[in-house]
Copies of this chain bind each other. A is one copy, B any other.
Amino acid sequence: MDFPTWMASIQQRTESALEAVLPAAELVPSRLHQAMRYSVLGGGKRVRPLLCHAAGAIFGADATLLDAPASSVELIHAYSLVHDDMPCMDDDDLRRGKPSCHKAYDDATALLVGDALQTLAFQGLATRLPGIAPARQLEMVQLLATASGSRGMAGGQAIDLASVGLQLNIGALELMHIHKTGALIRAAVLLGAHCGEAAPDALERVGHYANRIGLLFQVVDDILDAEASSEVLGKTAGKDAAQNKPTYVNILGVREAKTLAGELRADAHQALSTFGPAAIRLHELADFIVDRTF
């Protein structure tokens, strides 16, 4: 199976798994459930589920088993987008080409949608997975929680808020992104590995891969944001620049940011070297993340 076909198949099964775990739109309170489904279904590249399935495949995990952690990670990601888009945070009116949740519904509903999507992520991951020992499954719940909370994703968001208008050095920027996006990407990879038989040293190597991919993802995002603004004539400056947010491009310049992306990609590939062809999807995903840009 070539990469695009594999990717489409995982995206499709993730959509089905999310569709199944989300409460039906008719269930009371139906407006909340509609808004939850609106915010999760029918959009997104599903990068985290792809990483989860790709990592699980290395260790012989069954795809059916991987649907639960893949969906839970995506639900955490979706909740963070809904809350980040709210007026008191990034105040974004558009998400995935549609009005963001608080525009399509209202602020109070968006707040509850994010809250309930987070809850649903943990509910899904705590549902007994046949073939996984309950003690390991508890570890998986903890892993997702640690990655999502104040020492992970939510903490990264707080560091981001505190950084607006500041001159960050590259180390401080990296610290922010390790929390804000890196932690959840790492959780996606490790949860996939936990669904199979991964020895501690193998976990460490896929964890290292995940760390590189997490930063790579952000460096590429910053380059995309900067290049879009300079390419399109008459368009205002990139959103990050407009909001005076520190980015890799601000600190390093586009050329050096691209060099960094190349290094991170090479390092990610290197971390997978001992796994052989079993890691092909993770290799392909590293390239996919970069090839969005250049």
User: Residues of A at under 8 Å CB distance from B?
Assistant: 23, 27-29, 31-33, 36, 79-80, 83, 86, 88-89, 106-109, 111-112, 114-116, 118-120, 122-123, 126-128, 133-135, 137-139, 141-142, 145-146, 148-151, 154-155, 157-159, 161-162, 175, 179
Contact = CB atoms under 8 A, between A and B. Distances in A.
A169 to B, nearest CB: 15
Nearest to A106: B88
A32 B88 contact: no
30 contacts: A23-B150, A23-B151, A28-B155, A32-B150, A32-B155, A83-B115, A86-B111, A88-B107, A89-B111, A109-B158, A112-B150, A112-B157, A112-B158, A115-B115, A115-B118, A115-B154, A116-B150, A118-B118, A119-B149, A120-B145, A122-B145, A126-B138, A126-B139, A126-B141, A126-B145, A128-B135, A128-B138, A134-B135, A134-B138, A141-B141
B149 A127 contact: no
Given A28-B159, A127-B142, A137-B138, 17 more contacts: A28-B155, A29-B158, A29-B179, A79-B115, A86-B88, A112-B158, A115-B115, A115-B154, A119-B145, A122-B141, A122-B145, A123-B145, A126-B141, A128-B138, A134-B134, A138-B138, A138-B141
B119 A154 contact: yes
A109 B161 contact: yes
Contacts of A142: 123, 126-127
Contacts of A120: 145, 149-150
A167 to B, nearest CB: 18
Contact of A150 (B33, B146, B154): B33
Contacts of A148: 119
Pick the most buried of A116, A134, A175: most chain B CB atoms within 10 A of its CB: A116
Contacts of A145: 119-120, 122-123, 126
Contacts of A112: 150, 154, 157-158, 161
Contacts of A154: 32, 112, 115-116, 119
B157 A31 contact: no
Contacts of A119: 118, 145, 148-150, 154
Contacts of A29: 150, 155, 158-159, 162, 179
A270 to B, nearest CB: 29
A129 to B, nearest CB: 9
A23 B80 CA distance: 21
